[in-house]
Amino acid sequence: MMLKNDHYTYRITWSQEDGEYVGLCAEFPSLSWLASVPEEALTRIRKVVAEVVSDLQKNGEDIPEPLSTRKFSGNFVVRVPPELHRQLVVEAAEAGISLNRLASSKLNS
């Protein structure tokens, strides 16, 4: 069974510890699937997610919204030590830009 319109975020990575590929889904961090080839890891993790979504639907539980369809405001708060805050404000002032522009630039690089 596969999900119709599966828009979840999948990743396949090599597990040195297990000696196999591991399939992961960002929206379901507790789920994974090991396989000897990456294509099988992807196919199997997608099937596991479909089964979990089906169970959640049957039980009337909330189903995680895919990251790909979520709306993001572009705003988030980051707490830093006061010394770093001061250093960043000085750096932004010296560059003639706002602190937000400096932070965005650093996050983007």
Domain coordinates in residue numbering, the chain: 10-67, 72-108
Query: What is d(CA 59, CA 76) in angstroms, rounded to the nearest whole number?
Result: 33
pLDDT-based confidence at 54, cuts 50/70/90? very high
Query: What is d(CA 97, CA 107) in angstroms, rounded to the nearest whole number?
Result: 15
Both structure tokens of 83: 């010394």
pLDDT-based confidence at 46, cuts 50/70/90? very high
pTM: 0.76
- Residue 1 confidence (pLDDT): 77
DSSP symbol at 66: P
Query: What is d(CA 60, CA 62) in angstroms, rounded to the nearest whole number?
Result: 7
Q: Residue 48: pLDDT above 90?
A: yes
Q: With contact defined as beta carbons under 8 Å apart, do 4 and 48 qualify?
A: no
Q: Residue 49: pLDDT above 90?
A: yes
